[in-house]
Amino acid sequence: MTTDSPLRIDHWIGNAPVASAARDEVRDPGRLADMVGLVARGGAYEVDLAVRTAAEAFRTWRETPVETRAALLRQAADLLEAEAPAVVGIMARESGMLVATNTAEIGMAANIVRDNAEAGAAFLAPEAYEDAESWVGVEKRPIGVIAAIVPWNAPIILAMRKVSPALICGNTVVVKPAPTAPIGLSLLLEKMAALFPPGVINVVHGGAEVGRALATHPLVGKVSFTGGGTVARAIMKDAAEGLKGVQFELGGNDPAIILEDADLDLAIPRIVGGAFRRSGQFCFAVKRVYAPSSLYDEVVARIRAEVDKFRVGHPLEPGVTFGPINNAGQYRALQGLLARTRASGATVEELGSWVSEKSEADGYYMRPVLVSDIDPEAELVQVEQFGPLLPVVRYDDLDAVIDSINAGELGLGSSIWTRDTDRAVAVARELETGMTFVNNAGTSRLGQKNIPFGGVKQSGIGRESSPIGLREYIDYHAINYHR
């Protein structure tokens, strides 16, 4: 591995770089001595410049035919795929995610862009109704400038889930990348923005100050945010001053419920992938497993065997299948949770093996952890850990499991594992979550395109993807002509 000199990343406003006096370091979470980038730190000034630029671009972009916008988005999707090899390495260095994960992410992001491009024309077509006394037109308009605030864990997909529906509907965007994974996204957005008229896609880097400036800027029409609940609450309070709409995709504490008739050969690898991919750092990761008493020991044994295959190390080391935690705050939270879980008396097993052993001085490494014999009300079961600590809970009474899940505040995803799909649907309908996956821990390709992605209760407001997600990026204009 070589340590390249840090990349200097600026804001991107009106298809030109804009620097700031202050810069933030981005360090490799798997090799803390490695400074990956120096990123401009924006504030209210840069946000104002970007938003005014986006608002100016909106005046003409909104008039562009939807077919033109779709064609540009399809070009953007092709460009993402073409540029993937150039950025997956630096993404691994800034986020700690595996190169293969980043490659897959960019591929999925390109699909999301294509899906939104394809859905736009039908969605935006006006409806009209007519009778002897009147004519009614129901038309859809872009909102204006959209603030897209993106987290570090899957920045390309999560940005494209906002940028592509916003653009196909005729909005312009200001994207705020996450401070611990801004580089890959920035490089891709700069290239992508060049396909569009200046000001349609803008990027401002920084922390909470930039988020706040976006949420309070009078020319921002809507804030679309993926991240945590605490930040979402602050954004919503700021947005309230300007009565802006908000769309939030937040965390989850997604249960995987194994029924007695589950096909464990199929289920276990998928559950383990669903829990430990990205070292557990994704919103709809399996955060807890419920296994029936009759299968409990077998489920634990099989998960243990599967998890133990992970090879832990730096994402650029050959053979690594399990990378570090993205940042110090998250690492410390996980270490604390691990210590408390150990103290609680549950069975805690650190699994996997090092490709080459690391210390805390090297980076935010942890091995994947399986927790069994755990109380259903234990902290690890009831909180969103957002990391590689997986509790497996024994149950005898499925109704009690459902009640316990529904008593929680979060409701993003869930998964059910059974050979009986009718039963799966019946159980799914009892679960208070925005999504339920059956016999997998995520969406199929059909699901990616058609599922309104998002959560209920404290897991979010509104939805992303699919024609239902496009609704978040338009205002209705109803016209009533009286004859």
Partner 1 sequence: MLDIVKAGSAPLTIDNFVDGAWIGGETRFEVRDPGRTADVVARVAAADAALVDRAVAAAAGALKSWSRVPVAERAALVLKAADLIEAEAEKGLDGLAGVVVRETGMLPAEIVLELRGAAFAARDNVTAAQAALEPVVIEDATSIVRIERRPIGVVAAIVPWNAPIVLLIRKFAPALVAGDTLVIKTPPTAPAGIALLMAALAPLFPKGVINVVHGGAEVGAALAAHPKVRLISFTGGGVAARAIMRTAADTLKNVQFELGGNDAAIVLDDFDLDKGIPMLAAGAFHRSGQFCFAIKRLYVPEAIYDAFFERLAAHLDKVRIGHPLDPRTTFGPINNPGQLAFLNGLVAKTRAAGGDLVELGQPVDPATWAEGNYIRPTLVRRPGPDFEVVTCEQFGPVLPVIAYDSLDEVVALANGTEYGLGSSIWTTDFDRGLALARRLEAGMTFINKNAQSRLGRRHMPFGGIKQSGIGTENAEAGLAEFTEIHAINIHKA
Residues with a catalytic annotation lie at 249
Stretch that binds partner 1, among 108-116, 182-190, 236-244, 328-336 (CB under 8 A): 236-244
Name which position in 3, 347, 353, 421 contacts partner 1 (CB under 8 A).
421
> Is residue 398 near partner 1 by the rule CB under 8 A?
no
Asked if 479 is part of the footprint of partner 1 (rule: CB under 8 A), the reply reads yes
Of the pair 8, 237, the CB lying nearest partner 1 is at 237
Tell me the CA distances in angstroms from 324 to 90, 98, 201, 254, one per residue in order: 15, 9, 31, 22
**Stretch binding partner 1 (CB under 8 A), from 135-143, 321-329, 347-355, 381-389:** 135-143
CA distance 65 to 63: 6
| Interaction of residue 426 with partner 1, rule CB under 8 A | no
Q: Which of 5, 21, 133, 361 binds partner 1 (CB under 8 A)?
A: 133
| C-alpha gyration radius of the chain | 23
From candidates 240, 301, 339, 407, binder to partner 1 by CB under 8 A: 240
Q: Give the helix ranges, DSSP H, for 221-292.
A: 229-241, 264-276
Q: Which residues of 122-157 are buried (b: 16+ CB within 10 A; e: fewer)?
A: ebbeeeeeeeeeeeeeeebebbbbbbbbbbbbbbbb
Nearer to partner 1, 349 or 432 (CB): 432
Burial class (CB in 10 A: 0-12, 13-18, 19+), 190: middle
Write down the least CB distance from residue 481 to partner 1, Å. 4
Question: Least Å distance between CB 473 and partner 1?
Answer: 13
Q: Is 196 left (phi over 0), alpha (psi -120 to 50) or beta?
A: beta
> Which positions from 251 through 280 interact with partner 1, judged by CB under 8 A?
266
Q: What residues numbered 446-465 form the site for partner 1, per CB under 8 A?
A: 446-447, 450-454, 456-458, 460-461, 463
- The residue (of 386 and 437) whose beta carbon lies closer to partner 1 is 437
241, 261, 298, 377: residue in contact with partner 1 (rule CB under 8 A): 241
Sign of the CA dihedral running 244, 247, 252, 255: positive
User: In this chain, which of 12, 61, 248, 473 binds partner 1, going by CB under 8 A?
Assistant: 248
Residues in 299-358 that interact with partner 1 by CB under 8 A: none
* 62: contact with partner 1 by CB under 8 A: no
Binding status of residue 137 toward partner 1 by CB under 8 A:
yes
- Residues 216-235 close enough to bind partner 1 by CB under 8 A: 229, 232-234
Closer residue to partner 1, CB minimum distance, 326 or 436: 436
Between the alpha carbon of residue 173 and those of residues 106, 166, 222, the distances in Å are 20, 7, 10
Torsion of CA 406, 246, 386, 11, to 10 degrees: 180
Q: Which stretch binds partner 1 (CB under 8 A): 146-154, 179-187, 195-203, 425-433?
A: 425-433
CA dist., res. 282 & res. 455, Å (int): 14
Number of residues that bind partner 1 (CB under 8 A): 71
Token pair of 210, please?
């930039």
Binds partner 1 by CB under 8 A, chosen from 48, 81, 83, 139: 139
Span near partner 1 by CB under 8 A; candidates 2-10, 79-87, 284-292, 445-453: 445-453
Q: What is the end-to-end Cα distance of the chain in Å, rounded?
A: 74
> For residues 133 and 361, which CB has a smaller minimum distance to partner 1 in the complex?
133
If 0-12 CB within 10 Å is exposed, 13-18 middle and 19+ buried, where does residue 2 land? exposed
Task: Return the half-sphere exposure (C-beta side, CA atoms, 13 A cut-off) of residue 151.
Answer: 20
Backbone angles phi, psi at 10, to 5 degrees: -105, 170
Candidates 124-132, 174-182, 183-191, 304-312; binding stretch for partner 1 (CB under 8 A) = 124-132
Tell me how crowded residue 109 is: count the other CB atoms within 10 A of its CB: 27
Binder among 433, 464, 470, 473 for partner 1 (CB under 8 A) = 433
